[in-house]
Amino acid sequence: MGEKKIVVVQLSGGNDYLNCIIPYNNSEYLDNRPNVRITEERVLPIGNGLGMNPSMAPIKELYDSGKVAVIHGTGYPVPSRSHFRSMDIWHTAEPTKVGNEGWLGNAINQMYPNHDNVVAAVNFGAGLPRSLVSHGAPVASVTDLDNYGLMSHVGDEGIRTEALQAFKDMYTQAIGTGPVMDYLSETGLNALKGAEILSSVTQNYTSSVEYATDSFSKSMKGAAQVLQADIGTRICYTQHGSFDAHTNGIALQEGLLTDISSGIYDFYEDMKQANKSDDVVMFVFSEFGRRVKDNGNGTDHGSGGVAFVIGDSVEGGHYSEYPSLNPQDLIEGDLAFNLDFRSIYTEILEDWLEVDARPVVKGEYEKVGFLKG
């Protein structure tokens, strides 16, 4: 096995747990979801009276092969129904205060304390998720790997070289003194180095896998290209959504889960063909679930969710317990979490990325057990 790598998939907007992993015979599910539910004949059974959403057939195939850990009832104490606050909690592992450091950014700094791997983490998509942010942690953010590189839009090679040299000069000259200027100089040079490295990864990539054309599949193909190039990237990150299905709940979620399932399956097959599937796991999460009772056409913000860890190094199956749907067990009409997400982080950080989880999750949490020993 080579260096261990992870692809983090963020389901933005609040994925509906009850219609993702469906308790299809549960009377409370049937009563609370008269309009927004998946009927029994459509579900993909996975045991324990549960079934996957019908749009998740590719992930169900991986599940049947023992490569998918379904982690039930994920959350944290005193749940927030704000997208922004809840996602920030997952990103920083700080449920009780506003954190200033991402959990993966902290891990990158532990792996590379000298900040000497400028492509340690690659985000696919616009902006930079808070989970990857930590002072000094080098992270590249890519929207289109095929056209990536600083000033790649400049067609004339001579002009582009001249422009890049000017960029280098700007950051290598003594542009001032003090920590702010030092940081700007280092950041600019790292961006340049990262762009140069990443712009070359597609050149030697070959695969028979035909990815779909949606944005998520493009991101997963990009992750496969980067990880197969062995340039030192340990973390890839991407997101898809929005799963915020206040209206048109069934169709919206199923369309997005179709993209997610296809992209994940194709990425797995791609890495398998390249003989690199032992070295990588995928972690899939959302900031919260939805309310137990539908609103007539969709579902509103809730709590208690589901996460997945997928790969050849995963011990597939069910982990933790599906939260009770009994009215007396709900929290203001929402599912109660029964597994703190920091237990998942602890196992990923310590047993996969091989860094100390305690400074990241601010304590000690029992591991879930989804990684093979």
What are 191-228's pLDDT values in tens digits?
667 777 888 888 889 999 999 999 999 999 999 999 99
Residue 242, preceding bond cis, omega within 30 degrees?
yes
Which of 133-137, 223-227, 233-237, 257-261 has the least mean pLDDT? 133-137
Domains in the chain, number:
1
- Confidence check: pLDDT of 148 > 90: no
Q: Hunting for tokens 């310590």 — which residue is that?
A: 350
Prediction pTM value: 0.90
Predicted local confidence at residue 35, as pLDDT: 96
Structural domain boundaries enclosing 222: 5-148+199-361
Instruction: List all residues 6 or more positions away from 78 whose beta carbon is below 8 Å from its beta carbon.
Output: 95
Please tell me what DSSP assigns to residue 350.
I
Rounded CA-CA distance 128/108 in Å is: 15
pLDDT at 194: 74
180 pLDDT higher than 70: no
Q: Half-sphere exposure of residue 104, counting CA atoms within 13 Å on the CB side?
A: 27
Average pLDDT over residues 351-355: 98
pLDDT in tens, 2-44: 799 999 999 999 999 999 999 999 999 999 999 999 999 999 9
* Sequence-ordered alpha helix ranges (H) in the chain: 27-32, 57-64, 83-92, 103-111, 157-172, 179-198, 215-228, 249-273, 341-347, 358-361
Mean pLDDT of 121-127: 88
Amino acid 199: pLDDT: 81
- The percent of residues above 70 in pLDDT, for the chain, comes to 87
Q: What are phi and psi of 170, to 5 degrees?
A: -60, -40
Per-residue pLDDT, 196: 76
Does residue 320 have a pLDDT over 80?
Answer: yes
Whether residue 259 lies inside any domain: the answer is yes
Q: What is the mean pLDDT of the chain?
A: 89
Q: Is 127 left (phi over 0), alpha (psi -120 to 50) or beta?
A: left
Q: Residue 181 above 80 pLDDT? A: no
The band of 126, judged by pLDDT with boundaries at 50, 70 and 90, is: confident
Residue 190 in any domain: the answer is no
Cα distances (angstroms) measured from residue 221 to each of 71, 83, 210, 315, 324: 25, 28, 9, 25, 38
CA atoms within 13 A on the CB side of 143: 4
Asked if the structure places residue 188 within a domain, the reply is no
* Residue 31 within any structural domain of the chain: yes
pLDDT at 192: 62
pLDDT at 166 over 80: no
DSSP reduced 3-state for 319: strand
The two beta strands, 235-240 and 121-124, are parallel
Whichever domain contains 292, its CATH number is 3.40.720
Using alpha carbons, list the distances in angstroms from residue 40 to 21, 23, 25, 256: 12, 9, 7, 21
pLDDT in tens, 36-89: 999 999 999 999 999 999 999 999 999 999 999 999 999 999 888 888 899 999
Distance CA 195, CA 203 (A): 14
Any domain includes 252: yes
| Of 1-10, 220-229, 304-313, 355-364, minimum mean pLDDT range | 1-10
* Alpha-carbon torsion angle 332, 335, 338, 344, nearest 10: -120
pLDDT of 140 reads 86
In a domain, 173, yes or no: no
Average pLDDT estimate for 312-338: 96
> CA 211 → CA 227, 259, 297, distances in Å?
16, 10, 32
User: Average of pLDDT values for 170-177?
Assistant: 49
* From 63-67, 123-127, 308-312, 348-352, the region with the lowest mean pLDDT: 123-127
Using alpha carbons only, what angle is made at residue 176 by residues 174 and 182, rounded to the nearest 5 degrees? 85
| Residue 156 included in any domain | no
* Residue count of the chain: 373
Half-sphere exposure of 329 (CA within 13 A, CB side): 13
Is residue 139 predicted with pLDDT exceeding 60?
Answer: yes
39 in any annotated domain? yes
Cα(373)–Cα(370) distance, rounded to whole angstroms?
9
